[in-house]
Amino acid sequence: MESPGCGNIGRVDKDRRGSRAKRYSGHANATERCDNCRRRRVCCLRNEDESCSLCRSRGLQCTFVSSPNPRNCTTARGKEQIVDAVPRKSPLSKDKTIANKTAENNTTGPSETLQYVGLTGDQDPFILQYCKTDRIQRIDGIQWTWHRLSNDPQRPASFTAVPDQHLDARPSYYPLTTIREMASPHVDQLVNAFFEGIHPALPILDPQSFRHSAAPSTLLASIFALAHPYCVEAQTFDPWVWMDFNSQALPIEARNAKLETIEAALLHAQRHTYIFRAPTMPGLWTDVGSIVGMSQDVGLNIDATNWDIPEDQKKRRRRLWWAVYMQDKWTALTLGRPSYIHDDQHDVEQVEVTDIIPDPKASPRTELLPAQVFVAAARLTSILADILSQLYTVKAAKMLPTLGIEECSDIASVFISRLRRWKEDYLTPLIGNDTMHDPTGTET
């Protein structure tokens, strides 16, 4: 016999469920999700005649245009067949299966990652230059490869090539979002909006050689997210889909970083602010640390002038390093953190306008001026780096109060003199150019 108490609890729970279903039944079908919630695969919570909570919080249009995602009804026997179809011989075969599942996120690039051989590593670059073979492969398929890019015996530049599956390049938890599909049919418009409005403020890519069909998903996601506010055709898209994808994918790809990975991470660090709070971008400083670490993994901090690589790759590495350098120094200044980059651990030549545009004399001023701004910013960052290292370290904070007024004045006068020369050489020639892009990328 059921007790009165249990019966009342059952009725209360039933009433609560009914009122909750009525509360969130703002559309004809209470279980139907809006387009944005369906893309993000989250629950669509909304009151009657109001936009859902996701669309309200992010200022999106709450629409019901697209069709619901089809559900694949799999029987128990079907599940057994799917499981049996996955090879179970070795972890490598599992990696191959995962790689096939994430074909959208895989690039057409090499299946191995080049990592710079440092001076104190277990693989001595001075010994590697006398190695008679450049590839060692065993019966089980594990291989080791090295590449020598400099013949200078005093400064050998060597890279080891590691298969991506050894670096957990595409584990099972890698996000499966189809980036190009999420931007369809306005991929071209988003790419054009990026190179017209965003690229002039941070010219790390090459517009002439960039092909979005061959670009990795992380780089596309960064491009789409930055270009979204300036692309009229894409205003119905949710930019958080691309930003959330990179927040999940980039930490994984950092294990097997390539130049495209660093470009994607740098652009992702410039993402627009949609939620204003303190801090505005949580975890930004750790993101910068990851960018610096990836850059050192691929040897961006080493001067590649005499390396045996194409000239356009030398220019790409130079402008990419200085973009990383600027990101590190100015973020350290803004957040009050110690810089990740020490100036005695890089020797890359200063970036020049010719590293950004091939022929400055033949280029229109709309392309020349942003390149000049980038070069001027790099020169200013070098001054900032010295200011941070001499005045704003933990040891400097203890030492400066012990100095006299004249000594402090001498230190300050050196920086004031350098800033004045920078103003004369770089800033003054740029002032008054109406065609110069806004450095934030908000105006063209």
Give 205 or 63, the one with higher predicted confidence: 205
**pLDDT at res. 305:** 92
pLDDT tens-digit profile of 73-112?
444 433 333 233 333 333 333 333 333 333 334 433 447 8
**pLDDT at res. 135:** 66
> Which range (27-36, 44-53, 54-63, 372-381) has the least confidence?
27-36
Res. 322: pLDDT tops 90? yes
* Neighbouring residues of 268: CB distance < 8 A, sequence distance ≥ 6: 218, 221, 222, 225, 243, 246, 247, 250, 287
pTM of the model: 0.73
**pLDDT at res. 80:** 36
pLDDT tens-digit profile of 123-132?
777 777 777 6
What CA–CA distance (Å, rounded) separates 138 from 109? 24
> Which range (136-140, 177-181, 405-409) has the least confidence?
136-140
- For 240-257, what is the mean pLDDT? 93
Residues pairing with 143 in the sheet: 137
**pLDDT at res. 325:** 98
Average pLDDT, the chain: 79
3-state helix, strand, coil in the chain (%, to 5): 50, 5, 45
- Measured CA distances, 125 to 132, 155, 206, 291 (Å): 14, 9, 32, 24
Query: Where does the pLDDT of residue 294 fall: very low under 50, low under 70, confident under 90, or very high at 90 and above?
Result: very high
Contact 329, 291 (CB under 8 A): no
Rg (CA), the chain: 27
Share of the chain above pLDDT 90, in %: 47
